[in-house]
Amino acid sequence: MDTFTDSEYPEENHQAPAAPQAQAEPQEPDTHQTPQPEPAAPQAPQPDSGAYHGTGTGRKESPYANSPYVTGQYQQNQYQYQPQTQPPEKPKKKNKSHKSLWRGIVAAALAVALVAGGCLITAACVNSTWEKRSAETTRQFNRKLEELQKLIDGSSGGSGVIPAMDGDAMTPAQLYQSNVSSVVAISGMVQSSFYGQTTEGTSSGSGFVLTEDGYVVTNYHVVQDASNITVTTHDGQEYSATVKGYDAANDVAVLKVDAEGLDDATVGSSSELVIGDMVVAIGNPLGKLTATETVGYVSGINREVTTDNTVISMIQTDAAINPGNSGGPLFNMYGEVIGITTAKYSGTTNSGASIEGIGFAIPIDDVMGIISDLIDYGYVTGAYMGITVKDIDKDAAAQFGLPTEGAYVVEVLEGSGADKAGIQPKDLIVGLDGRAISSRTDLTRALRNYKAGDTVTVDVVRSGRELTLTITFDEKPHEEEVTAETVPQEDASMPSEGNYEDWYDYFRRFFG
């Protein structure tokens, strides 16, 4: 079959080829029908009839030309090509330059407005903060200026010291100004014997006001053997005092004066002390230098000091403690009482070495329970086991394979709480209510946390076996009245040796 391409058609007068006509259905020949004349030969298509161009020019005719099959007729000249004399004009673009320019201007203006607004807000915040700080600084400056002006004018309100802000540590000068009025001088009459001669003298010491209604705390040895006890406040007021109660084992006594509105001291906590903390002692050394302040540091904690065959755990300090300071307060730098100044080592040792800067104070936490009992009952109702103990001989314990730490039971009082609990002599107490006990001092301090009637567990080692017993504490034995007659008398003769402990015992009888 011959093929053709679109190039065989001229560009002009494009016409679709005539659709072939439908073929008639074949019929059987009719012998009686008059024969039809032969159809005339097809005529060549005219140029304007839409026939295939080039017919009769030597080219091959289209196979679709004059097809005997006709299915439908296309309307002639339906899709005729209409040549254009000139190209169509392109649509003109709209000029967007003006809109773009305005959009940029608006965006820039918004950006500037946002930056300016942020700067204004930041400036306002900074200005507000600065104004607050400036106002606070000005207020503090004006307050200090007023204090300085009072000092210059010599007014009664000016103390010479600018007080510390609330909650801040004080300088020694601020502490003295704030707390000296709570420190008192204590004096009494005592009888002593020198070489068989009985003489009467004056003992002196220090103390501090615990409550504004007249309870005063001091050392027991300050009022021991004393009569006609007098308490003198910092402003010179003298009050006759009575001994409300005492605990000789812990060297604590409570006095009562008939007064109201006294300046009471603030009690702190000794458990928070660390070596190196600054401390201040205020007292009356030698009984004459009233309201003396000495400043030092905590040199040691839990020092075991023996006084009158009683071991007391104390705070060691290098603040000067002299005869007459005993019973006075030891302050931390927040103006809180954290100890009761009690003793010092001074003089020379047997080897001739001098002793300086070794003072001691009873931790306030160890005696506050005792002080409360003395105020409420006049005696100590604290826990009492009914045993005598001593520190264990570590060498002997190691030799026999026994624990080297604990409180060794020497004697058990018949019918006491310890006896009822099953504690026996030669038992080694190593624990009390879950707290480890390594010495008799540990046991003494642990008992201060309990009252008569409390029931706790006691861990003991007996014959190499550890036992856990249960004890109910008794009340400590006490004397009904505290008088000079009930206090054991001591020999007050002058020591003939230079041992520092003997000299300490001598001075403590006359100057607490």
- One of 192, 206, 326, 346 is an active-site residue; which one? 326
Catalytic-residue membership of 221: yes
Measure the CA–CA gap between 311 and 343, rounded to whole angstroms: 13
- One of 178, 206, 221, 225 is an active-site residue; which one? 221
- One of 178, 182, 206, 251 is an active-site residue; which one? 251
The residues, any chain, with a CB within 8 Å of residue 420's CB and separated by 6 or more, are: 471, 472
Measure the CA–CA gap between 325 and 204, rounded to whole angstroms: 9
For 295, other C-beta atoms within 10 Å of its C-beta total 18
Which segments within 195-328 are labelled E, that is strand?
A: 197-209, 215-218, 227-232, 238-247, 252-257, 266-267, 278-283, 292-307, 310-317
> What is 148-175 written as a DSSP string?
HHHHHHT-TT--SSPPPPTTSPPPHHHH
Tell me if 389 sits within 8 A of 447, measured CB to CB: no
CA dihedral 229, 234, 237, 239 (to 10 degrees): -20
H or E stretch covering 469:
strand 465-472
Measure the CA–CA gap between 323 and 509, rounded to whole angstroms: 9
Q: Is 400 helix (H, G, I), strand (E, B) or coil?
A: coil
Tell me which residue of 498, 191, 186, 174 sits closest to 341, measured CA to CA.
186
Tell me if 320 sits within 8 A of 294, measured CB to CB: yes
Catalytic-residue membership of 251: yes
- Cα–Cα distances (Å) from 144 to 160, 166, 169, 173, 239, in that order, read 12, 15, 17, 16, 38
Tell me which residue of 43, 19, 511 sits closest to 287, measured CA to CA.
511
Tell me if 216 sits within 8 A of 254, measured CB to CB: yes
Active site amino acids: 221, 251, 326
